[in-house]
């Protein structure tokens, strides 16, 4: 058994993994991935290839134009994309979440968006975070009100994945005053077209996840038809909450992809690089950390497979998914760090991919939910007093 390769729980899953690998090898070989990352490019043909293979529609209702599929399938695809180019994994997760959300009949007229997102003809992004509202999302200030038979939005969103490419933003905005003591009530999700004067977008340059097309979005009188309300008015938190377990699982899959890639790169380097007339992997100081990494990656995968099975069986997996997201993120950060140690100067070289994984591993520590917040919710699930 190759301990640096993923172990799948069924032949169907292994076949899906192989087909995603083959597609990525054709469209985003390793040198291309590095270039996309370095130059912060958006690769439309590669995205369209994912759409044509039915991968963008995964998790989306068949009857509405999606490809169906389980959370486990989405996890495998996310991991494989992230092994090659983690920032594309981040974009992919946003689309996978949109598929799940728009499949919910409660999303009303907006379910018609699903087919376009699945076939790649329309791109969608999630506008939640704001300069003053990240972890504490309920403090968001973007507002939407009804003016002349349409929604009119004012506010600012930041760190939005795919922001400057998207045709539609799912904006989380306050539509009503909060109910007494319940800050989460009165916030809604609205599908806002980007092709209008009230929407201005700017790229944000990040040191990690450089090809996730991260953007700031300014809404100044942006308009959306009344029927673009996604789900029930004032209940954004419950709409977003329905997909939380899958979001956490797929976030863990990004980390698993990064960790798997870094482990493979470090083992290869430790085998090929010689010092003192032997491969550096022959020194226990190099070998043992890599053995630790392999064991931790194995543990993360086992944990994630279990969480995915729970989600697919309809069980409530929010807390166990938070555990997996947290553990996968911290494992990836450790595994990449050990890989950097094993590679010496070569780990920092821009001609190699390890520095990309090193930078990209940071995201999962604080997004989409920070690991501190994950610990808060796990603590609460243990019956301990709410700590925030
Ligand atoms: C590459 C990238 C892509 C992103 N994509 C999107 C996107 O598509 N859409 C979107 O809406 N947002 C997106 N984000 C934003 C992301 O969701 C936020 O970064 C995340 O929610 C954390 O918010 P923050 O960065 O403002 O950190 P803050 O909320 O300022 O937190 C800073 C630190 O304080 C800690 N902290 C805060 N409150 C507590 C508490 N109660 N207990 C313990 N610790 C606490 C946090 O854990 C964290 O360590 C993206 C960010 C990046 C970097």
pLDDT mean over 170-188: 89
Strand 150-160 vs strand 215-225: parallel, antiparallel, or unpaired?
A: antiparallel
Residue with tokens 């007229």: 109
Centre of ligand 1 from the C-alpha of residue 242, in Å: 20
Helix axes 318-343, 371-381, angle to 10 degrees: 140
> What pLDDT does residue 290 have?
98
Contact assessment for residue 192 and residue 166, using Cβ atoms and an 8 Å cutoff = no
Q: Is the pLDDT of residue 178 over 90?
A: no
State which ligand 1 atom lies nearest to the alpha carbon of 133: 26
Q: Is the CB–ligand 1 distance for residue 164 below 6 Å?
A: no
Contact assessment for residue 201 and residue 176, using Cβ atoms and an 8 Å cutoff = no
Mean pLDDT, the chain, integer: 96
Q: Which of 95, 157, 215, 366 should be mutated for ligand 1, with most atoms under 8 A from CB?
A: 366
Secondary structure letter of residue 235 according to DSSP:
B
Q: Is the CB–ligand 1 distance for residue 358 below 6 Å?
A: no
pLDDT mean over 278-290: 98
Centre of ligand 1 from the C-alpha of residue 361, in Å: 15
Q: Is the CB–ligand 1 distance for residue 74 below 6 Å?
A: no
Ranges of each domain in the chain: 11-118, 124-234, 237-381
Centre of ligand 1 from the C-alpha of residue 3, in Å: 33
Q: Is the pLDDT of residue 295 over 80?
A: yes
Fold of 124-234: Butyryl-CoA Dehydrogenase, subunit A; domain 2 (2.40.110)
pLDDT mean over 248-260: 98
> What pLDDT does residue 3 have?
85
Beta bridge partners of 152: 145, 223
- Predicted confidence band at 242 (pLDDT cuts at 50, 70, 90)? confident
Q: Is the CB–ligand 1 distance for residue 140 below 6 Å?
A: no
- CATH number of this structure's domain 11-118, picked from the four choices 1.10.3720.10, 1.10.540.10, 1.20.1420.30, 1.10.3080.10: 1.10.540.10
Q: What are the tens digits of pLDDT across the range 59-91?
A: 999 999 999 999 999 999 999 999 999 999 999
Centre of ligand 1 from the C-alpha of residue 129, in Å: 8
Give the chain's length.
388
Contact assessment for residue 56 and residue 50, using Cβ atoms and an 8 Å cutoff = yes
Q: What are the tens digits of pLDDT across the range 322-363?
A: 999 999 999 999 999 999 999 999 999 999 999 999 999 999
Q: Is the CB–ligand 1 distance for residue 161 below 6 Å?
A: yes
> What pLDDT does residue 135 have?
95
Centre of ligand 1 from the C-alpha of residue 128, in Å: 10
CA distance 291 to 345: 21
Centre of ligand 1 from the C-alpha of residue 370, in Å: 6
> What pLDDT does residue 251 have?
98
> What pLDDT does residue 299 have?
97
Centre of ligand 1 from the C-alpha of residue 381, in Å: 21
Single pTM value for the model = 0.97
Tokens of 344: 């010496």
Centre of ligand 1 from the C-alpha of residue 207, in Å: 16
Higher pLDDT, 178 or 84: 84
Q: What are the tens digits of pLDDT across the range 109-153?
A: 788 899 999 999 999 999 999 999 999 999 999 999 999 999 999
Q: Is the CB–ligand 1 distance for residue 135 below 6 Å?
A: yes
Which contiguous run of DSSP H or E holds residue 287? helix 284-312
Q: Is the CB–ligand 1 distance for residue 363 below 6 Å?
A: yes
Q: What are the tens digits of pLDDT across the range 218-241?
A: 999 999 999 999 999 999 999 898
CA distances from 339 to 1, 155, 270 (A): 21, 42, 9
> What pLDDT does residue 283 have?
98
Q: Whose CA is nearest to atom 26 of ligand 1?
A: 134
Contact assessment for residue 15 and residue 53, using Cβ atoms and an 8 Å cutoff = no
Q: Is the CB–ligand 1 distance for residue 160 below 6 Å?
A: yes
Strand 199-203 vs strand 274-275: parallel, antiparallel, or unpaired?
A: unpaired
Q: Is the CB–ligand 1 distance for residue 228 below 6 Å?
A: no
pLDDT mean over 236-262: 95
pLDDT mean over 369-388: 96
Q: Is the pLDDT of residue 179 over 80?
A: no
> What pLDDT does residue 221 have?
97
Q: What is the CATH number of domain 237-381?
A: 1.20.140.10
Q: Is the CB–ligand 1 distance for residue 128 below 6 Å?
A: yes
């Amino acid at each position: 058994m190759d301990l640096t390769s993923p172990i799948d729980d069924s032949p169907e899953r292994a076949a899906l993994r192989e087909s995603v690998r083959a597609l990525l090898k054709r469209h985003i070989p390793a040198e291309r991935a590095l270039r996309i990352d370095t130059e912060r490019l958006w690769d439309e043909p590669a995205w369209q290839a994912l759409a044509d293979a039915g991968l963008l529609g995964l998790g989306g209702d068949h009857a509405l134009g999606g490809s169906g599929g389980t959370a486990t399938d989405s996890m495998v695809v996310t991991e494989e994309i992230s092994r090659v180019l983690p920032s594309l994994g981040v974009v992919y997760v946003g689309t996978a979440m949109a598929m799940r959300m728009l499949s919910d009949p409660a999303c009303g007229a907006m379910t018609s968006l699903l087919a376009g997102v699945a076939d790649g003809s329309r791109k969608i992004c999630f506008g939640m975070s704001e300069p003053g509202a990240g972890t504490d999302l309920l403090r968001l200030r973007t507002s939407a009100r009804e003016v002349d038979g349409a929604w009119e939005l004012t506010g600012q969103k930041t760190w939005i994945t795919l922001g400057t490419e998207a045709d539609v933003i799912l904006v989380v905005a306050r539509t009503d005053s909060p109910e007494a003591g319940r800050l989460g009530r009165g916030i809604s999700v609205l599908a806002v077209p980007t092709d209008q004067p009230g929407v201005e977008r700017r790229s944000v340059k990040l040191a990690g996840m450089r090809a996730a097309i991260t953007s700031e979005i300014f809404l100044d009188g942006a308009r959306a038809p009344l029927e673009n309300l996604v789900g029930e008015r004032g209940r954004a938190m419950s709409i977003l909450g329905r997909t939380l377990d899958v979001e956490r699982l797929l976030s863990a899959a990004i980390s698993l992809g990064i960790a798997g890639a870094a482990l493979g790169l470090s083992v290869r380097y430790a085998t090929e690089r010689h010092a003192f007339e032997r491969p550096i992997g022959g020194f226990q100081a190099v070998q043992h950390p890599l053995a630790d990494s392999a064991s931790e990656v194995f543990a993360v995968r086992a944990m994630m497979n279990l969480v995915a099975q729970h989600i697919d069986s309809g069980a409530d997996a929010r807390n166990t998914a938070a555990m997996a997201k947290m553990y996968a993120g911290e494992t990836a950060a450790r595994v990449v760090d050990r890989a950097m140690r094993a590679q010496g100067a070569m780990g920092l070289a821009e001609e190699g991919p390890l520095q990309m994984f090193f930078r990209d591993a940071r995201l999962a520590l604080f997004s989409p939910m920070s690991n501190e917040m994950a610990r808060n919710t796990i603590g609460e699930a243990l019956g301990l007093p709410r700590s925030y």
